[in-house]
């Protein structure tokens, strides 16, 4: 109150844009730690690895915006990745059309699993934590059953498979930007547009903000929740396909713990778990922060187990800073 409101203090700038500063700080630390970090090759590899998490995080954000949570994303991703790996050699025809059919089918199946979550939560009023926990174990069980617990390999020389693995390992000619990263960028742009520029996006956020008010305005709140779960399922299956494309194998253990990383990305990005607040852009910053943390620790040769502890600490720090941010804003 005492300072000119048009000249925000340094503290308030730091607090408001804390995740951008955090990302910048992590990038600087990485650069100092290793001369290899700031090479195009390393950055592209990092982004390629983060592509599936980015997709799942967008889906998770949609669900979180409506006030729900989806624990089944990792299992659905496993089914999506395996489904494509199993379907490609089984199809009677080859090539781009076959790949399209496989991807379309797998994504559709993911959407179906998400829709089941949606019906349980939006239709039957089940707590999303419980409904998606059940879906998480069911989908994982299905993945193990389909593959007998073994990785699903496919002939490398199959034309369909060559297109898929090419997508997963190569980049845009000339620039070198990996194809999966380009695809994720397009999807990010699409969802930024949908959430900011369409009535559907606005009402999805409103449903999480105050479901009663939305319903009493005469709007079908259940439909926004249902759609969020359905889209989350579709995006999760797509994420699994991206994993298969990169690793050239479909495994039933894909995406174990992925739901936690996706929730962490949303939360670091400032999404409220109670719904109604969060943006795609900030969630993607959250994904990058998680990715950089892992990258730094790999560069420093921190063993895997301590990495988990450090990751947890950083999540807590990020959320604490947002809490301070919210309090400062309220005081102004």
Partner 1 sequence: MDRLDMRQISKEFGGIAALSGAGFSARAGEVHALMGENGAGKSTLMKILAGAYTHDGGEIRIGGEPVSISNPQDAIRKGISIIYQEFSLASDLTVAENILIETLGHGLFVDRRAMDARATELLTRMGFDDIDPGEIAGGLTIARQQVVEICKALSRDCSILVLDEPTAVLTTHETEKLFDLVRRLRDQGVCIVYISHRLDEIFSLCDRVTVLKDGATVGTWETAALDHKSLVNLMIGRELKDFFPERHGTPGEVALEVEALAAGTLVSDISFSVRRGEVLGIGGLVGAGRTEVLRAIFGADPLSHGEIRIDGKRHVIRSPGNAVRAGIGLVPEDRKQQGCLLHMPILNNAMLTPVNPHLGFLGLIREARERGATEALRSRLNLKAASIDAEAGTLSGGNQQKVAIMKWLVSGCEVLLLDEPTRGVDVGAKVEIYRVINELAANGAAVVMVSSEMLELIGMCDRVIVMRAGRLAGELSGAQLTEEGIIELAMGRKHVH
- Which positions touch partner 1 (CB under 8 A)? 197-200, 202-203, 205-206, 209-210, 212-220, 276-277
Closest CB to partner 1 among residues 169, 209: 209
Closest CB to partner 1 among residues 16, 210: 210
Closest separation in Å from C-beta 57 to partner 1: 22
Closest CB to partner 1 among residues 121, 214: 214
Contact criterion met (CB below 8 Å) for 87 and 97: no
Calculated CA dihedral for residues 66, 72, 78, 83, nearest 10 degrees: -70
Residue 278 has which token pair?
């969060």
Closest CB to partner 1 among residues 43, 219: 219
Contact criterion met (CB below 8 Å) for 191 and 59: no
Closest CB to partner 1 among residues 214, 262: 214
Closest CB to partner 1 among residues 213, 300: 213
Closest separation in Å from C-beta 264 to partner 1: 23
Closest separation in Å from C-beta 195 to partner 1: 11
| Number of neighbours of residue 126 by Cβ within 10 angstroms | 15
Label residue 176 exposed, middle or buried (CB < 10 Å: 0-12, 13-18, 19+).
Answer: exposed
| 281 vs 204: CA distance, rounded Å | 17
Closest separation in Å from C-beta 2 to partner 1: 19
Closest separation in Å from C-beta 126 to partner 1: 21
Segment holding 46, helix H or strand E: helix 40-65
3-state secondary structure of 171: strand
| 171 vs 308: CA distance, rounded Å | 31
Segment holding 101, helix H or strand E: helix 96-118
Closest separation in Å from C-beta 218 to partner 1: 3
Residue tagged 């301070």 (tokens): 324
């Amino acid at each position: 109150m005492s300072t000119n409101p048009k000249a925000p203090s340094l503290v308030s700038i730091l607090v408001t844009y804390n995740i951008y500063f955090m990302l910048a700080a992590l990038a600087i630390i990485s650069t100092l730690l290793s001369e290899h970090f700031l090479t195009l090759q390393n950055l592209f590899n990092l982004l390629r690895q983060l592509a599936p998490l980015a997709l799942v995080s967008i889906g998770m954000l949609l669900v979180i915006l409506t006030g729900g949570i989806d624990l089944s994303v990792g299992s659905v991703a496993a089914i999506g990745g395996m489904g494509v790996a199993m379907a490609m050699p089984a199809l009677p025809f080859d090539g781009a059309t076959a790949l399209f059919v496989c991807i379309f089918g797998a994504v559709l199946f993911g959407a179906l699993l998400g829709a089941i979550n949606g019906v349980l939560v939006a239709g039957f009023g089940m707590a999303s934590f419980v409904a998606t926990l059940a879906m998480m174990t069911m989908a994982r069980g299905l993945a193990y059953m389909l593959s007998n617990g073994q990785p699903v390999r496919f002939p490398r020389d199959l034309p369909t498979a060559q297109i898929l693995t090419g997508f997963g390992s190569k980049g845009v000619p000339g620039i070198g930007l990996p194809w999966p990263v380009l695809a994720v960028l397009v999807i990010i742009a699409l969802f930024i547009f949908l959430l900011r520029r369409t009535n559907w996006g606005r009402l999805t956020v409103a449903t999480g903000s105050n479901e009663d008010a939305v319903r009493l305005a005469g709007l079908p709140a259940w439909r926004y929740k249902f759609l969020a779960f359905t889209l989350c399922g579709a995006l999760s299956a797509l994420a699994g396909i991206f994993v298969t494309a990169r690793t050239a194998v479909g495994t039933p253990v894909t995406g174990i713990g992925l739901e936690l990383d996706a929730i962490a990305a949303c939360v670091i990005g400032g999404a409220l778990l109670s719904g109604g607040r969060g943006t795609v852009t900030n969630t993607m910053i959250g994904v990058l922060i998680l990715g950089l943390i892992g990258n730094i620790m790999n560069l420093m040769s921190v063993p895997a187990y301590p990495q988990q502890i450090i990751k947890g600490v950083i999540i807590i720090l990020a959320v604490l800073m947002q809490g301070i941010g919210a309090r400062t804003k309220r005081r102004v």
